[in-house]
A and B are shown apart, each in its own frame.
Chain A
Amino acid sequence: MTATFLQFCTVVQKIRETRGSNAKIGLFADYLSALETADELNLAAQFIGEGAFSELSGKRASVGSRTSGLAAAEFCEIDYDRVFKPCRTATGSSSETIERLMEHIPAAIKKRSPANLRLDDIQEIAVNLYSASGRDQKKEILHNVWQKMAPIEIKYFIRILGQGSLRIGFETRSVVASIAKAFGRDREAVRYAHMITGSLGKTAVLARENRLDEARFTLFTPLSFMLASPIESRAVENLAQYVAEEKFDGMRAQLHVEGDTIKIFSRDLNDITNSFPDIVEFFSQRELPATVFDGEICVYKDDTILPFQLLQKRMGIKKPGKKVLFQYPVLFIAYDLLYASGKPIFNLKLTERRILLEDLAGTYNIPISSQNSLQNEDDVDTLFNRALEHGNEGLVLKLKESVYEYGQRKKSWLKVKKPGGSFDTIMMYAHAGSGKRGGTYSDFTLGISVKDDERYEEEFIPIGKAYGGYSDDELKRMNSLIKEITVERYGPTLGLLPKLVIEIEFDEVQVNKRTKAGYTLRFPRFRAIRWDLGPDDVDTLSDVEEYYRQSIEKKRLPQHQNPSFIFE
């Protein structure tokens, strides 16, 4: 192996500095095609798209930003709280801060002498970090490695350890395109192989060796999920090309089954089988041939789909007890079929997959979503309202001709969601942004009023944190006001006078006992900055409690009429 990590980082930095996705793809394609060995190719594709470990491995180096920050401060011989933290606040990025300190601070310069580490060295170090226990051991490994690295290597090494995107404006779809371009393969063929193998590294090697058709689906290994795009961003020309299904108020899951072996995977491809013994039992009784379903886990009781908030009580419990199983019984409702009769079928059209799904469901008695044909907007409205009556989130419109592909695919699946609720809140704290919002205050803790509430001594308590939904101009305007109303500073966080009222939108109110309010909001975001309102107009904790009570107790239409899924 001759490919150095420094070369890799140089290309990555070049991609970061290049605008236009074709130019970026070209740069990485050139790099990939020049690599000598399959191992190098495997690692390069994995590092840029997945991290130090392949996504499938489920491993992580577990080096948090505090660990790397403390290690860097020690390495540079600077004070963590008094020097490192203000620098990180200014850049908005821990890894960028470390890179620049490594380049500037004399003590760090003295210690470093780049040793041309290779890609496989990097992987070995990541494995060492994975096996190391405790911050001190990890810091020691980091110190040893950094001595052999240039600042740019240190920056990207830290990002790679974090798993996921390197934040260089180069996402999975671009990596896939680069692989196709590097080896002159069809982009869709590369995509397909990636979806099956779940590994960019393996996909790159198969592409180079012209063995993409060998990418084989294996049962009990999760496939990446197909996702729906919001309908607002897409113009739909012909509704008749779509069918509609209700968007269940539950949790997306993929179920692999063969006989009495069952595995369930969550959307982030984690194995969640143990949390749902009732689903395992349900399917093992049915003695299915090798099959993979895509569907939704919902709490289902008395003929009714119950709120997602109740399902939450079962998520994360590794071994649910009898009481929980009894209180919150769940059902897996299938809406797609990815593998049947011994072969993957995701390249079949939706209508064809649906026929197979209906056959299977009929034979083995499995709940499947109801599908409705559409003619016009009125149909969408009727079905949408009915979905809401069932307590579901809205609709998913699916293009009849579409194949099953991972990620958001333009207009293949479209979601029609109910608008969220809203509260008028007070801005309590402003937090320095990170990444592309580095250098501004872009994240905000928002509070509700408790001044007339005997349970609290404060005037306002936090209800959620929002960091989106405003325009660049609004952000600027808020930042200049924030300067004037700052009363306290806690490192990157500013404590503010209660002046600025934010109308906040959210999907749900959830119970969360660990917070002061006892509630949190799901997907909070700005709806409007209410320059016209003052602190006295802010909604109260009682308003939040009332909203929660109504959403839980809201009558949900039982399933015996116009059901959202078909069962028995």
Chain B
Amino acid sequence: MKFQKTGYHGLYFPELGISLDGYHPKAQQTFVSHAHADHMPRNRATRACATKATLELLKLRGYKGSETVLNFGEKLELPTCTVTLYPAGHILGSAMIYIESDAGTLLYTGDYRTPPSPATEGFESPDSADYLITEATFGLPIYKWKSYEELTKKIQNFALGSLQAGETPIFLAYNLGKAQEIMHLLAPLRHPVMIHGAGYKLCSVYDAHGIDLGNYSAYDRETCEGKILIAPASALSNGFASNVKKTKVAYCSGWAANESRRTQLTVDNLIPISDHLDFFELIDFCKKLNPGKVYITHTPNPAVVQYYLEQENISSTYLEMEAEPED
């Protein structure tokens, strides 16, 4: 199956006349896996096809092109191929894109997480595919995630421990996805939460899709003390909650697995919670799907994943696209 890079991070399939996660002038239809900026088409002429949640999030993040809703599991018949979206477990609305055509079947993962994030529609995958295009953001065996049960406990304990000590807990988490996931895991505490503006406006989509984000409101500098606060990592250096004397800061990201982040960010706690799958899950997924060929993207270390796939007799190539800066 032929494809080429297009747009910022996208792929164009000339035989099928479609593109994934990026605009191409000749594409009849552009499928968008999820609403993170590096997967979002930037051209207004794009005809974006995605899940309802993804399209709603895209609009809130400034997307202005035309839209087609495609529900999970629903087959979209195009003249050249059939496209089905599978829940990717990454963020709300995130989908893996499955293409069936004369040239064979292909699964494009976008960003994915299995076991899925509890603040998503879950994770499902076709049983097989001839080609797999997979992200490998955390493609090193130093990355292995703890269970959501353990992570939830860690996150809740951090919030409760800080509050009990009279300190305001701040979770540093990316605006879309990670922030709402943390809020969802904290929701059972029913403690008031305040979230930084850029993330706040996206929460309504989660509400509408039935994800419980707890007792939350938009960040307000004057009244944020004693609340659980959620903000992107960059907010702290821009004065976020700088009027609150006693705070405790936890950095929530897959990159938090690296001890060096502690001093780079000056935080009290590192909580390695990722919306990508870990190295071991990635290799397992490839084995299970057992495609004829794997294309690896979004990773600084493709060679390590390729080496492991080689051991499993799975042929693979590196498809060079920058790893996204935010997890």
Contacts and interface: CB of A to CB of B under 8 A. Distances in A.
Nearest to B144: A104
A436 B258 contact: no
A17 B269 CA distance: 7
A79 B264 CA distance: 30
A90 interface: yes
Interface in B139-193: 140-142, 144
A435 B260 contact: yes
Contact of A78 (B141, B260, B261, B301): B141
Interface string A405-436: 00000000000000000000000000001011
A96 B261 CA distance: 13
Interface stretch (A81-89, A133-141, A241-249): A81-89
Contacts of A82: 303-304, 307
19 contacts: A16-B262, A17-B262, A17-B269, A83-B307, A86-B303, A86-B304, A87-B140, A91-B260, A92-B258, A93-B260, A97-B142, A100-B141, A100-B144, A101-B142, A104-B144, A104-B280, A438-B260, A439-B258, A439-B260
Give the residue among B144, B258, B260, B262 with the most A Cβ atoms within 10 A.
Answer: B260
Q: What does DSSP make chain A's interface, helix, strand, loop or mixed?
A: helix
Contacts of B261: 439
B123 to A, nearest CB: 21
Contacts, number: 71
Size category of the B interface is 20 to 34
Given A19-B268, A436-B263, A438-B260, A104 B307 contact: no
Contact of B142 (A19, A87, A436, A437): A87
A-B CB proximity, top 8 nearest: A438-B260, A436-B263, A104-B144, A100-B142, A87-B142, A86-B301, A82-B307, A87-B140
Interface in B102-139: none
Contact of A438 (B259, B269, B280): B259
A424 to B, nearest CB: 29
A438 B255 CA distance: 11
A494 to B, nearest CB: 12
Contacts of B301: 86, 90
Contacts of B303: 82, 86
A103 B268 CA distance: 23
Nearest to A483: B322
A87 B141 contact: yes
Nearest to B279: A104
Nearest to B322: A483
Interface in B233-279: 255, 257-264, 266, 268-269, 279
Contacts of B257: 100
A276 B121 CA distance: 76
A17 B268 CA distance: 7
A105 interface: yes
Contacts of B300: 90
Contacts of B260: 91-93, 433, 435-439
Contacts of A438: 258-260
B249 to A, nearest CB: 9
Contacts of B144: 100, 103-104
Nearest to A95: B259
Interface string B272-310: 000000011000000000000000000011011001000
A90 B258 CA distance: 8
A486 to B, nearest CB: 12
Contacts of A96: 258-259
Nearest to A103: B144
Contacts of A83: 140-141, 304, 307
Given A86-B304, A93-B259, A439-B260, 20 more contacts: A16-B262, A19-B266, A79-B307, A82-B303, A83-B140, A83-B304, A83-B307, A86-B140, A90-B142, A91-B258, A91-B260, A96-B259, A97-B142, A100-B141, A101-B142, A103-B144, A104-B279, A435-B260, A437-B264, A439-B258
